[in-house]
Amino acid sequence: MSDNVHPPLRILPEDGRSVSAKTAQAHVEAFLSDYGNRMATKGGDTTVTTQLHKLKNVLEKEEKEKKEEKH
């Protein structure tokens, strides 16, 4: 058994204002791109990336459902 187990990084919110799903999606995509570039060069924990991809997918689904409701 390995003693080198590390917990995933914690992401803490910096601001408490509301934003649209579209805006949140854009911020998550920008962060994912930047984070992916940084992690590609040094390897790293994929937990954060996986969770952010899940969030991005939920935001996309939410935005699509809102557009369908308007039509």
Q: What is the pLDDT of residue 3?
A: 64
**Taking the CA of residue 31 as centre, how many other CA atoms within 13 Å lie in the half-sphere pointing to its CB?**
15
User: Which residues, including other chains, have CB under 8 Å from residue 19's CB and lie 6 or more apart?
Assistant: 27
Q: What is the pLDDT of residue 51?
A: 83
Helix, strand or coil, per DSSP, at residue 36: helix
Q: What is the pLDDT of residue 68?
A: 86
pTM as predicted: 0.52
Domain ranges of the chain: 21-70
Chain centroid to CA 34: 11
Q: What is the pLDDT of residue 6?
A: 77
Q: Kindly report, residue by residue over 9-66, the tens digit of the pLDDT.
A: 787 888 788 888 788 888 888 988 888 788 777 766 677 778 878 888 888 888 888 8
Q: What is the pLDDT of residue 32?
A: 82
